[in-house]
C-alpha cells in the first residue's frame, strides 16, 4: 500500500492551546502505527488512544495518510537537518559535525520508549513500504549526506567526493545511528551513558571529537594538510602528546 507523499509537508497553523492535543494524537499514532502498521491501524483507534474525537484528526492532519506523514516527520523524533547546516560557507567542520550528530542525539531526550517506537516505525516502513521511507531518503537523508560529503571534500582538499569520502560520511553518521539501533544494548550494558539529557550531551561532545579525528585521519591518509577547524577543548585534548 502506498500513501500520497508531497515533496514538502506544510502543517496546519495551530493555536497554542491545540499543541498538546495535536501531540497526543501524534504520540498515540506513533505507538499504534509502530505496533500494527499503517494499513491495520484505524483513525478511530488513534482517536480513542489519544482521548480525542475523530474529527480532530481531520482538523490537524486531513486524513490518516496525513497523520502518518506527520508522525514520520515529527521534529521531536526526527528533527530536520537542512543541508546548509552541514555545507554553509560560514559553517566550520566542527559545527557541521555537531549539527549532524545532535540531530541523532536530541530525539533520545524524548525517552527510551518513544525513540524505540520511532525506530520500530522506521523498520516497519522499510518492510511494509508506503512511500514514507523513500520520501525521507529523497527529501532529507540524501541531501544531508551530499552536503556532508561536500564539507568533507573541502577539508581534505578534494574537488569532488570519491568512494572514500562517502564511506567517511556514512561512518560519521553511523556514530549517531548506533545510538538508536543499539539503544537496548546501551540501556542493558551501560545505561548511564544515555539515560539523562546531561549524559547525552556529554556523549555528543565525545562523538564530535571522534568524528573530527576520523576526518583528520582521512586527510592525513591522503597526504592533505587539513584546514584547522575551531576545535573544541575535548577534541584538542585528544591531540596532546
pLDDT, tens digit (0-9, with 9 covering 90-100), for 111-166? 888 889 999 999 999 999 999 999 999 999 999 999 999 999 998 889 999 999 99
d(CA 103, CA 3): 26
**CATH code of the domain covering residue 63:** 1.10.10.60
Question: What confidence score (pLDDT) does residue 224 get?
Answer: 58
Domain span at 111: 84-225
d(CA 241, CA 239): 6
User: Is 4 domain-assigned?
Assistant: no
Q: How confident is the model at residue 101 (pLDDT cuts 50, 70, 90)?
A: very high
**CATH code of the domain covering residue 195:** 1.10.357.10
The answer on 65 and 36 residing in a single domain is: yes
In sequence order, the 6+-apart residues with CB closer than 8 A to the CB of 224 are 156, 157
User: Is 1 domain-assigned?
Assistant: no
Residue-wise pLDDT for 13-61, tens only, equals: 544 458 899 999 999 999 999 999 999 999 999 999 999 999 999 999 9
Predicted structure pTM score: 0.83
Amino acid at each position: 500500500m502506498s500513501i500520497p507523499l508531497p515533496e514538502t509537508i506544510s502543517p496546519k497553523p495551530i493555536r497554542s492551546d491545540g499543541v498538546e492535543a495535536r501531540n497526543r494524537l501524534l504520540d498515540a499514532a506513533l505507538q499504534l502505527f509502530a505496533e500494527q502498521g499503517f494499513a491495520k491501524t484505524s483513525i478511530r483507534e488513534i482517536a480513542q488512544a489519544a482521548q480525542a474525537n475523530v474529527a480532530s484528526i481531520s482538523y490537524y492532519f486531513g486524513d490518516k495518510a496525513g497523520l502518518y506523514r506527520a508522525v514520520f516527520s515529527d521534529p521531536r523524533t526526527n528533527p530536520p537537518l537542512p543541508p546548509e547546516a552541514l555545507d554553509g560557507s560560514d559553517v566550520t567542520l566542527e559545527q557541521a559535525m555537531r549539527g549532524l550528530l545532535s540531530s541523532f542525539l536530541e530525539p533520545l531526550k524524548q525517552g527510551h520508549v518513544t525513540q524505540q517506537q520511532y525506530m520500530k516505525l522506521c523498520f516497519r516502513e522499510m518492510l511494509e513500504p508506503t512511500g514514507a521511507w523513500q520520501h525521507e531518503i529523497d527529501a532529507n537523508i540524501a541531501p544531508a549526506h551530499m552536503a556532508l560529503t561536500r564539507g568533507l571534500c573541502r577539508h581534505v582538499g578534494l574537488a569532488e567526493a570519491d568512494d572514500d569520502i562517502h564511506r567517511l560520511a556514512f561512518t560519521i553518521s553511523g556514530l549517531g545511528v548506533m545510538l538508536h539501533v543499539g539503544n537496548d544494548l546501551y540501556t542493558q550494558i551501560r545505561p548511564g551513558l544515555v539515560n539523562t539529557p546531561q549524559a547525552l550531551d556529554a556523549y555528543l561532545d565525545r562523538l564530535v571529537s571522534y568524528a573530527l579525528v576520523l576526518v583528520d585521519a582521512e586527510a592525513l591518509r591522503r597526504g592533505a594538510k587539513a584546514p584547522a577547524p575551531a576545535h573544541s577543548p575535548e577534541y584538542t585534548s585528544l591531540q596532546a602528546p
